A and B are shown apart, each in its own frame.
Chain A
Amino acid sequence: MECEKASALMMQYMDKTLSEADAAKLNSHIKGCPVCKEEFMVYDKILREFETMEVISAPDDFCDTVMEKIRALDFKRPASTVKDSMLCVIWGVFSVLLGLGLLASMYKDTVIEYLASTGRFDLFLKTLAPVTEYVNLFTEGLTNTFTSLSSGLSALVSPVRLTLLVIFAVLAGIQYVIYKKNKAEI
């Protein structure tokens, strides 16, 4: 065994995850390699030093002192954050569903084609047909709106999709930031 491998095994020893077989390997290497032997002895010593290191306790009156200070603060906790986080969750779920729904309806041809090709969703597709039609109309309207909105840029459909994607990416980004802010660093 090379010294490098021995060094890795020593780290496992420090982690207390060294297997019996590896311990035997390490042992036999150490017997023939004074450099690794010295290293191992030092590591082992460090481990034991940590174990015997003095346990530090806070002063006896610690809790009382802090409680007194807290009482003196007259601190008012801001109103419930449970409601806030519920709203956050509802808003998050809503916008994700909206985004996914819009994306799905925009790429509905591909989705339907795929579903039809597997053949297992025939019944499902039939039931959904009226809904699909309605969604078609809705999406058309939406696409038109976006097309007219971005007509200055281009009347093509794909840039519109791109624009929508960007909008949702930004929305998701904002949401993520809000979520992180909510759990802000203290």
Chain B
Amino acid sequence: MPVDVSKVSDFDLIQMCINEDMNYFSELMRRYKNLVFSVILRMVNDKEEANDLAQEVFIKVYKNLHKYYPEFKFSTWIIRITTNHVIDFRRKKKQESVPIEDVEYELSSEESPEAQYIRKERDHSINSLLEALPDMYKIPIVLYHKEGLSYQEISDIIKEPLSKVKNRIFRARKMLKESIINTGVGEYYGV
């Protein structure tokens, strides 16, 4: 590649990728892979699965590059595809999954002390509290507080009005706060 691609704008890079050389896609991916991966991992909580899904997302992005309009930031467009893909994937998975009564529960007696420790640690972290939130609250609050997106960007991603986005983030904070206070995790925080 003759150009210093790291200085090329997202939009130009997309055009180059479509019209010149598909290898420019690699640079686009380098810019957003961590964002996509981390959004997915927060939604599925399984690194293997997150990796598969992230790969699928970028293949989807590649196939639909020509449909990108610079009306939104590229990152906004990509996260929108990401969240839709994960929600879709989970919907399908739910349909395929075995009915609950057929699942054999494994007793935790064989859990190693390390695993137990990790599980305990996780229970105290905000991660596990986030996990318990429904997507409609979890996605906006993670995008806002963790990924540093603005209310407007989130509204573009989930295609809901700004007021609704704010409302959900406010409610998500309150839900997190309540679960911290009610489960006594607050003591762990020294509150």
Contact = CB atoms under 8 A, between A and B. Distances in A.
Q: Do A and B come from the same complex? A: yes
Contact of B67 (A58, A65, A81): A81
Interface stretch (B4-12, B53-61, B109-117): B53-61
Contacts of B67: 81, 183-184, 186
A67 B26 contact: yes
A41 B180 CA distance: 11
Interface stretch (A24-32, A68-76, A97-105): A68-76
Among all A-B residue pairs, the 3 with the closest Cβ atoms: A56-B38, A58-B37, A50-B145
Given A39-B177, A45-B180, A46-B176, A67 B69 contact: no
Contacts of A183: 67, 69
Size range of the interface on A? 35 or more
B36 interface: yes
Interface in A1-37: 11, 14
Contacts of A109: none
Contacts of B84: 185-186
A57 B37 contact: yes
Interface stretch (B17-25, B97-105, B131-139): B17-25
B80 to A, nearest CB: 8
Given A42-B191, A49-B125, A62 B173 contact: no
B180 A75 contact: no
A4 to B, nearest CB: 13
Contact of B173 (A46, A81, A186): A46
Size range of the interface on B? 35 or more
7 contacts: A11-B173, A42-B181, A46-B177, A49-B126, A58-B36, A62-B29, A184-B67
Nearest to A38: B191
B181 A38 contact: yes
Interface string B144-187: 01100000000000000000000000100100110011000010
A62 B64 contact: no
A43 B177 contact: yes
Given A43-B177, A67-B23, A77-B65, 12 more contacts: A11-B173, A41-B189, A45-B191, A49-B125, A56-B34, A56-B41, A63-B33, A66-B59, A69-B55, A75-B62, A81-B67, A186-B67
B81 interface: yes
Nearest to A10: B173
Interface in A44-62: 45-47, 49-50, 53, 55-59, 62
Contact of A67 (B25, B176, B181): B25
Contacts of A63: 26, 29-30, 33
Interface of A: 11, 14, 38-39, 41-43, 45-47, 49-50, 53, 55-59, 62-63, 65-67, 69-71, 73, 75, 77-78, 81, 183-186
A89 B63 CA distance: 24
A62 B51 contact: yes
Given A42-B191, A75-B62, A56 B177 contact: no
Interface string B60-90: 1011111101000000000001001000000
A81 B54 CA distance: 27
Contact of B189 (A11, A42, A66): A42
Contacts of B176: 46
